Amino acid sequence: MSQKNSDKIKLPADKELTMRVVPMPKDTNYGGSIFGGYIFSQIDIAASIPAIKRAKGRVATVAVNSIELHQAVFVGDILSLYAHVSKVGRTSITVDVEVYAERNAVDPQVVKVTQAQLTFVALDEDRKPRLVPPLDDGDPS
């Protein structure tokens, strides 16, 4: 089932790309699609990037608030992960992630395959929770 060019989803122009990956055959499950654990590991890495920047240091994932797997991911899909800080607490940082797959080189399509929300805690040198520093003037995060 093909979509008309005007109906195709496009990569979000209003969001900053956090990372891009291509799943390989070793990442497949017995059904031939990409194992959900692989996708989640990429989400966790992508979400940690804005969390580390906002915390100005080490963070740890403390909660997966939600994850929705909308469509299967396949070998050869180019996954684009967009992550941004959605909430900051005293020691915690919540990050929203959206994952899009670019597929089918002959008739290119972009589909939103996954979205998730994770919470991180900022850690000190002893790996204990610490306060998230206030924003610097001009800091967009």
**Using one digit for the tens of pLDDT, what is the confidence trace for 46-61?**
999 999 999 999 999 9
Return the pLDDT at 138.
Answer: 58
What's the sign of the alpha-carbon dihedral 82, 85, 87, 91? positive
Average pLDDT over residues 69-88: 96
Dig out the tokens for 62 from the structure. Answer: 């403390």
Q: Categorize the per-residue pLDDT at 3 as very low, low, confident or very high, splitting at 50, 70 and 90.
A: very low
5 has pLDDT over 80: no
Dig out the tokens for 119 from the structure. Answer: 């919470």
Average pLDDT over residues 72-97: 97
pTM, whole model, 2 decimals? 0.88
Residue ranges and CATH numbers for the domains of the chain are: 14-122 (3.10.129.10)
Q: CB burial class (10 A; 0-12, 13-18, 19+) of residue 114? A: buried
* Beta carbons within 8 Å of 134's beta carbon, 6+ residues apart: none
Q: CB burial class (10 A; 0-12, 13-18, 19+) of residue 115? A: middle
**DSSP three-state, residue 121:** strand
* Beta carbons within 8 Å of 48's beta carbon, 6+ residues apart: 59, 61, 95, 120
